[in-house]
Amino acid sequence: MTPTIEIHDARDIFTDAPVSLRLEGGRIAWIGAPGTMPDAPPPARRIAAGGRRIAPGFCESHLHLFWGGATLSQLNLLGIEGVQAAAQAIAGFAAANPAVPLLVAYSANYEVLGPGTRPDRHALDRLCPERPLLMIAVDGHGAWANTAALAAAGLMTRVPEVENAEVVLGPDGKPNGELREGAAIALVQRLSTSGGREGLVIAGDEPGTVSPADRAADKATLAAALAACAAHGITTAVNMDGNLYLADLLTEMEAEGALPIRVSTAMRLSPAHDDARIAELIAAATRPAQGKLGFGRIKMFLDGVFDTWTAFRTDDYPGRPGFRSEPLFTPERFNALCIAADARGLQIQVHCVGDAAVRLALDGYAAAQAANGARDARHRIEHIDMLHPDDLARLRDLGVIASMQPVHPPGSSGLPLEPTVSIMGRNRWRDTFPWAALAGAGVPIAFGTDWPTAPLSPFNAIHAALSRAPWAEDVPDQRLPFEAVIEAYTAGGARALFAEEGRGRLAPGMAADLVLLDGDPRALREDAGACRAALTICAGEIVHEAAL
Ligand SMILES: [Zn+2]
């Protein structure tokens, strides 16, 4: 039985009006002005909120649960700049972790070792000559390994073929240390404590036999990720990648009562998968929801990122006449997959960073609608770093949800402007991260962070959303008002999960998914540290509690 909880003297995050709430059976049984709560049996817990703001629990609409959990024991290089700072951070991490087989650092900027430079194995050898080191780029699409790591992975003697990825070779014919895209990174990542199984989840591939000890370790990694979510006021985590192994782990955890918050996971379809594997993943995605765990979605990538010139765009890259990159699926195959998944009632979500990728995704959704008939499908597009103005109305007309990450615009949240803004091109800045344009056109928006490519904290992301500055005077301000930002993190996320009838608002009958905040959320505009989660409640149970 879920305990009854009363919260007295809070303030509604949207209106600032004083409110009290009674939570029963995992739902909001009553909400109203303090002092007017109807008489009822005494609750199991009575919380004096002391005027703190209360919000619906945050819905983090785009994260990588397993990978994020794995990074909790890795070195975070976000904001580290220059050889000296990187060397110091790596030396400290290596000393603190004397036994790990592979030192893994993540969130490295592409020019972490100096403006205008890219890391290679020789530069990494100078930072860390003896122990194997893997440094993953901030977007997860690239990585660099030192010679010890490449040798331990066997890559100094033989470089295998990898699909849609590249082990970049130097002039000597040996790997130069750069690993482009997941399948190449995985060749080194499998040496890590986690066996690189987080990389397999991202790729939608299965691990071989997993020992009971490794299985338990992986569940602990997921539990740590979910606890981190709860500590930030997140009550729903929308996981972007999945394989059958992850689906089984989460199903077991749900049955064991080990999911503190709600998790919805996609299954990851890759161009490398054959028809049988695609069918298997689509079947897994149709698993029914159970308790706090939901399925019902597939995830695909149509392109990469601007920093590696792999974002697929409608115009040429600056300084590279005739080059626009290319999509990861042919339009024919992509459309066929959309039609097949849509016919099973699944929600489709596609990573599209370049504007040509967005256009291709819309074509796929239109093909599904033409083949299967129109329905409330709520297919999603993830990121939309660049949008061609001609496609704005199509997003709305196809009922597409824009899944956006306020922490992604260069210049926000510790990200440097360069090299990204130059690679995007000055004449296209006006078409990037178009939150206000999308909202203005009536496209529903769901916010998230893409953790661990960015910090998990919704407060950091809300700060980024509210404080984003245009890169030049003639670039439109794409910020949304405070209320719209909070909504994209709550009701907007619920809507993206077809859950708006039961979650995402402070109203009677809604799920008791709530967060009580320390600090003033409106002050997040100026200060990312202005606010934190004091108490998180999911389905009527307290899942995080700081000192109240
Ligand atoms: Zn992502």
Does residue 24 fall inside a structural domain?
no
Mean per-residue pLDDT, 397-423: 94
Residues 182, 234, single domain; the answer is no
Distance of CA 544 from the midpoint of ligand 1 (Å): 25
Tokens (6 digits) for 365 = 């959704």
Ligand 1 center from residue 239 Cα (angstroms): 9
Least confident stretch, 134-143, 367-376, 380-389, 492-501 = 134-143
User: Residue 95: phi, psi to the nearest 5?
Assistant: -65, -35
> Mean pLDDT of all residues in the chain?
96
CA of 201 to the centre of ligand 1 (A): 12
What is the CATH classification number for the domain harbouring 182? 3.10.310.70
Cα of 244 from ligand 1 centre, angstroms: 19
Residue 432 lies in a domain: yes
In a domain, 199, yes or no: no
Residue 414 pLDDT: 78
Q: How far is the CA of 299 from the centre of ligand 1 (A)?
A: 10
> Quick one: angle between helices 244-255 and 275-285, nearest 10?
20
- Cβ atoms of 109 and 138 within 8 Å: the answer is yes
Beta strand 531-538 pairing with 541-545: antiparallel
Q: How far apart are CA 210 and CA 250, in angstroms?
A: 15
Cα(62) to centroid of ligand 1, in Å? 6
Whether residues 166 and 217 fall in one domain: no
Q: Looking at the structure, do residues 289 and 407 belong to the same domain, yes or no?
A: yes
CA 454–ligand 1 middle distance (angstroms): 10
How far, in Å, is the centroid of ligand 1 from the Cα of 383? 8
Under the banding of pLDDT at 50, 70 and 90, the label for residue 412 is: confident
Query: pLDDT digits over 452-479, tens only?
Result: 989 999 999 999 999 999 999 999 999 9
pLDDT of residue 308: 87
H or E, element range at 339: helix 331-343
- Asked whether residue 263 falls in the same domain as residue 316, the answer is yes
Q: Is the dihedral of CA 278, 281, 283, 289 positive or negative?
A: negative
44-84 tens-digit pLDDT: 999 999 999 999 999 999 999 999 999 999 999 988 999 99
Whether 221 and 86 share a structural domain: no
Split at pLDDT 50, 70, 90, the class of 413 is confident
Distance (Å) from CA 139 to ligand 1 centroid: 8
What is the reported pLDDT for 1? 74
pLDDT at residue 415 tops 90: no
Instruction: Look at residue 375 in the predicted model and tell me its pLDDT.
Output: 96
Which three-class secondary structure state does DSSP give residue 397? helix
Strand partners, 317: 320
**What CATH number is associated with residue 346?**
3.20.20.140
Residues 291-329: pLDDT tens digits?
Answer: 999 999 999 999 999 998 999 999 999 999 999 999 999
Ligand 1 center–CA 4 separation, angstroms: 37
SS3 342: helix
- Give me 215's structure tokens: 């299985």
CA of 270 to the centre of ligand 1 (A): 14
Q: At how many degrees (to 10) do helices 355-372 and 331-343 cross?
A: 50
Q: How far is the CA of 276 from the centre of ligand 1 (A)?
A: 25
- Mean pLDDT value across residues 90-95: 96
Is there a single domain that holds both residue 351 and residue 220? yes
Q: How close is the Cα of 64 to the center of ligand 1, in Å?
A: 6
Residue 88: the pLDDT is 96
pTM for the whole thing? 0.94
pLDDT score of 298: 98
Q: In this structure, is residue 181 part of a structural domain? A: yes
Mean pLDDT across the stretch 426-437? Answer: 98
Pair (181, 275) in one structural domain:
no
CA of 427 to the centre of ligand 1 (A): 26
Q: Which of 128, 124, 65, 67 is nearest to 97 (CA)?
A: 128
pLDDT of residue 547: 73
Rounded to the nearest whole angstrom, what is the distance from the C-alpha of residue 130 to the centroid of ligand 1?
A: 32
User: Is residue 324 one of the residues assigned to a domain?
Assistant: yes
Please give the distance, rounded to the nearest whole angstrom, from the Cα atom of residue 2 to the centre of ligand 1: 34
CA of 173 to the centre of ligand 1 (A): 32
Q: How many angstroms separate the alpha carbon of residue 195 from the centre of ligand 1?
A: 21
pLDDT at 261 over 90: yes
Is the Cα torsion angle 368, 369, 373, 378 positive or negative in sign? positive
Query: Coil, strand or helix: which one is 351?
Result: strand
Average confidence (pLDDT) over 95-104 = 96
Indicate whether 239 pLDDT > 90.
yes
* 137 C-alpha to ligand 1 centroid (Å): 13
| Mean local confidence (pLDDT), 154-179 | 93
Cβ-in-10-Å burial (0-12, 13-18, 19+) of 105 comes to buried
Tell me the CA–centroid distance for residue 232 and ligand 1, in Å.
19
pLDDT of residue 330: 97
Task: Find the 71 Cα to ligand 1 centroid distance in Å.
Answer: 14
Q: What is the pLDDT of residue 182?
A: 86
Q: Band the pLDDT of 396: cuts 50, 70, 90.
A: very high
Query: Tokens 């503190």 map to which residue?
Result: 260
Rounded to the nearest angstrom, the distance between the alpha carbon of 199 and the centre of ligand 1 is 12
Expressed in angstroms and rounded, the spacing between residue 478 Cα and the centre of ligand 1 is 21
Residues 188 and 219 in one domain: no
Q: For residues 393 and 351, is the Cβ–Cβ distance under 8 A?
A: no
- For residue 241, report the distance from its CA to the centre of ligand 1, in Å: 8
Whether residues 360 and 284 fall in one domain: yes
| Cis peptide bond N-terminal to 416, omega within 30 | no
Based on the fold, state whether residues 153 and 274 are members of the same structural domain.
no
Cα of 240 to ligand 1 centre, how many Å? 6
Q: 295 lies in a domain?
A: yes
Do 160 and 219 fall within a single domain? no
33, part of any domain: no
| Gap from CA of 367 to ligand 1 centroid (Å) | 25
Same domain, 83 and 167: yes
Residue 39 in any domain: the answer is no
Task: Decide if pLDDT at 389 tops 80.
Answer: yes
Distance (angstroms) between ligand 1 centre and the Cα of 98 equals 31
* Residues 163, 144: Cα–Cα separation, whole Å: 18
Number of domains in the chain: 2
Q: Which domain holds residue 102?
A: 74-192
Q: What confidence score (pLDDT) does residue 237 get?
A: 98
